[in-house]
Amino acid sequence: MSKRISGMSFDTYLDGDLIHIEKITLDITD
């Protein structure tokens, strides 16, 4: 079984406000 975790974080402006977004994807294969 292999486990792969990929994370991505970035800052974006929404309606003039700075928002920090984190996206994490977890993939598990047997």
Instruction: Give the pairing of strands 2-14 and 17-29.
Output: antiparallel
Distance CA 24, CA 19 (A): 16
23: left (phi over 0), alpha (psi -120 to 50) or beta: beta
pLDDT at 25: 72
pLDDT at 11: 84
pLDDT at 21: 80
- pLDDT digits 0-9 by tens, 1-30: 567 767 788 888 888 888 888 777 777 776
pTM of the entire predicted model: 0.36
pLDDT at 8: 80
pLDDT at 29: 78
